[in-house]
Amino acid sequence: MSAATFAAVFVALFVGHSVGDHWVQTSCQSADKGQSGWVGRMAGARHVATLTATKLALLLPAAALLGLHLSVLGLVAGMGVDAVTHWWADRRSTLAWLAKVTGKSEFYVLGTAAHPARPVTAKGGPAAHLGTGAYALDQSFHHLWLLVAALLITTI
């Protein structure tokens, strides 16, 4: 496959990820996917199912319109790796563990009350902010696996 095919696949997956993770994911899935036990596992599975469907809903028409020739095996491998790694990271305790073993625990809690420099207003109350270290690590982890998925999709 060409670099252009890889780039087109990656862009479609990246946009699909953003839409699926932020617009398609339900509040219930977001709130429950980190819970322990089957409630969390199933919420995560529902999220990953809709996320994967969103990615495919963007990737397949783009591939058809651009004349990209993607194999079924490559699609299954790439989307499968992406789905499994996304589900794993979204269990939250797993990503917190990865942050701990890589020395990123302090960054993981950045933007939360658990961080020593937690965001507060001038009056000392909680301040609104645009994200947390956990969110940044979550998204960068997903982006890494989107790259791997795009490589698998375009080379198998």
- Quick: pLDDT tens for 79-110: 999 999 999 999 999 999 999 999 999 889 88
Q: Is 50 domain-assigned?
A: yes
For residues 148 and 3, the answer to whether their CB atoms sit within 8 Å is: no
**Whole-angstrom distance, CA of residue 122 vs CA of residue 145:** 40
What pLDDT sits at residue 98? 96
Nearest residue to 57 via CA among 34, 87, 23: 23
**Whole-angstrom distance, CA of residue 25 vs CA of residue 55:** 13
Q: Is 107 domain-assigned?
A: no
What pLDDT sits at residue 130? 65
Q: Is 145 domain-assigned?
A: yes
Q: Is 102 domain-assigned?
A: no
What pLDDT sits at residue 58? 98
Q: What is the domain count for the chain?
A: 1
Q: Is 115 domain-assigned?
A: no
- Asked if the model's pLDDT at residue 129 lies above 70, the reply is no
Enumerate helices (H) and strands (E) in the chain, giving the number of each: 7, 0
Q: Is 34 domain-assigned?
A: yes
Tokens representing residue 51 in the block: 């996320």
- Torsion angles phi and psi, residue 127, rounded to 5: -100, 145
- Asked if the model's pLDDT at residue 128 lies above 80, the reply is no
The domain containing residue 146 runs over which residues?
3-91+133-155
Q: Is 86 domain-assigned?
A: yes
Q: Is 21 domain-assigned?
A: yes
What is the mean predicted confidence (pLDDT) over 32-59? Answer: 96
